[in-house]
Copies of this chain bind each other. A is one copy, B any other.
Amino acid sequence: MRATFMYGAGDVRVEEVPDPRIQAPTDAIVRVVLSCVCGSDLHPYRNMPTSGTGVPMGHEFLGVVEETGSDVTTVRRGDFVISPFAFQDNTCQFCREGFQTSCVHGGWYGAGGVGGGQAEAIRVPQADGTLVAAPVGEDSELLPSLLTLSDVYLTGYHAAHMGKVNQRTTVTVIGDGAVGLSAVLASKQMGAERIILMGRHASRTNLGREFGATDVVPERGKEGIAKVLELTGGEGTHVVLEAVGHLPAYEMAYGVVRPGGVISRVGVPQYEQAPIGFGSLFGKNATLTGGPAPVRAYIEQALPDVLEGRINPGRVFDRTVTLDQVAESYKAMDSREALKVLLTP
């Protein structure tokens, strides 16, 4: 089969590799029907040191179960399934508390001998705890929105969930990428009436307005902070959802969070050290939360919203290419020509 590998910054290749095979009784093999490129894939696309060994790429996919290991009971051959971007047993102590990305038997696609989703097929470890069957066919118009339950929409949802967004909270969303726009949509779903979207790309912020943003702030840095404070009577917002991952975005976050408010991060931090002392978080009792989204915790609840048309998070996809064109799709997203690209095998 064909699968996508990254060999270094800017170097994405599709290669012919052996078909994946069941390795453990808890595995399933899924034929990929639809996958996509993630904003987080752009971090190695910009920074990965050149390597002689390709890293399997892709962690968001929908597909059809082709084969299951002997212990798998919740999905069977022929089922149409959604996979979270990480696998998990969904039964361990951390899974039960809703933090499946910390599963003691879990892991990440593209690492530790597990392939990536930007491929024709993939081996899914811990299939019972990972895969969620969806009652649709391969030709459903809902596939793009269902694919967002693999990562992007539910990552935005996780940000809002950890930030405790509700009817009484004002919200700032930092970042007009697909996760930021998803965070806007999730905040709207949770009842937020004031959602300020910080982003500079009109085509994206326009979609953000359709998803529920009430204000758009294109300014960044100090000017951006000043603008949000101006919009909120100098107070800042109760919740700030940080969907970028770079330090300047975090710096804006603590600048606009209200005393006693919450910064919820889902952009994978491209930094380790950052300000958290009296002048940033502590002095105003600001809370910092977030992390890799345990989307498995949220799929079953979000599924009816997609199936019954209450939300259409798949609108974040603005281009579809075949797997052979995957390198171009990385380039298009990196240059911001495309917001988020669908891949068909």
Q: List residues of A whose CB falls within 8 A of some B CB.
A: 93-94, 97-99, 101-102, 162, 235, 258-260, 265, 268-269, 271-292, 294
Establish whether residues A294 and B288, one from each chain, have CB atoms under 8 Å apart when the complex forms. Answer: no
Establish whether residues B285 and A287, one from each chain, have CB atoms under 8 Å apart when the complex forms. Answer: no
Indicate the member of A259, A269, A283, A289 with the most B CB atoms within 10 Å. Answer: A259
With A260-B97, A260-B98 known as contacts, the answer to whether A162 contacts B287 (CB < 8 A) is yes
Establish whether residues A292 and B288, one from each chain, have CB atoms under 8 Å apart when the complex forms. Answer: no
With A93-B235, A259-B94 known as contacts, the answer to whether A284 contacts B274 (CB < 8 A) is no
A78: min CB distance to chain B, Å: 35
The interface residues of chain B lying within 8 Å CB-to-CB of A99 are 259-260, 284-285
A260: min CB distance to chain B, Å: 4
What would 30 A/B residue contacts be, using CB atoms closer than 8 Å? A94-B258, A94-B260, A97-B260, A99-B259, A99-B260, A99-B284, A102-B259, A102-B284, A102-B285, A162-B285, A265-B282, A268-B282, A269-B276, A269-B282, A272-B275, A272-B276, A272-B278, A273-B275, A273-B276, A273-B277, A274-B274, A274-B277, A282-B291, A284-B291, A285-B290, A285-B292, A286-B291, A287-B287, A287-B288, A289-B289
Number of this chain's copies in the assembly equals 2
The interface residues of chain B lying within 8 Å CB-to-CB of A280 are 272
**Contact pick for A287, options B259, B279, B289, CB 8 Å:** B289
A227: min CB distance to chain B, Å: 20
A262: min CB distance to chain B, Å: 8
* Cα distance, A290 to B280, chains bound together (Å): 12
A134: min CB distance to chain B, Å: 26
